[in-house]
Structure 1
Amino acid sequence: MTTIDVGEDGNARQGLLTLVIAVVELLVEALEREAIRRMESPDLTDEEVDRLGRQLASIEAELEQLKADEGIKEGVADLRNDLDGLVSDAIRQLEDDPTNVETGHAVLGGDDGGT
């Protein structure tokens, strides 16, 4: 089972910032996929496509600068890998016991707290 440790060095602020940036990066990736879908449709003008691309690039640049300023670039990458592992474990668990999905008792981490 994959575990996630966001404060292994005892620095709660850095661990929390690492987690927040990792989540924001995931959201930006989702926005990028949606932006690409819209750019490929005839709904946006060339100007809107250009503006959307610049805005996404600006967000990514700010995130990279923030990671560099806080010295957490590697921590964010490690956390993203841990999150990928956690999702893979959850998918594997659901594939191994499909009754969890059918009964609505899918549990991440193995313990549902008695519910």
Structure 2
Amino acid sequence: MEDHDPDQKRRRAINPSYPFVDQAEWQLAEFIVQQLNKTDVNKFLKLDWNADQLFGWIDVLPSGPEWQSMTFEFIDYKTAWPMELIWHDGLEVIKDLFDKPNFFQSHDVRSPPQL
């Protein structure tokens, strides 16, 4: 994408969902790629761009902190399904937030909060 759009960093600073227009468009794309295969995506979209382009755009989006999980087993207590705790590392979330330029748009960028 950088070869086709030299202003990619500036655009991403303005719109974190870039190359999508906004958060809603990104959510639609995310739903489509999670629920449909490439053939079904092409049938659904019926647009000039195809599934390979959509998956390519998603691949270049910045990622956030990794999800983590832990399965619990209890002695003398039966559950229908394994109990799982799913979480983000809080420090990684804070670091990720402060790495995003648009986070500082509503704050004084001359004195960012100290971690």
Normalising by the residue count of structure 2, what TM-score does the alignment of the two structures yield?
0.33
Query: Which of the pair is proportionally richer in helix?
Result: 1
Which of the pair has more CA radius of gyration? Answer: 2
Query: Which of the pair is proportionally richer in strand?
Result: 2
Larger RCO: 1 or 2 (CA < 8 Å, sep 6+): 1
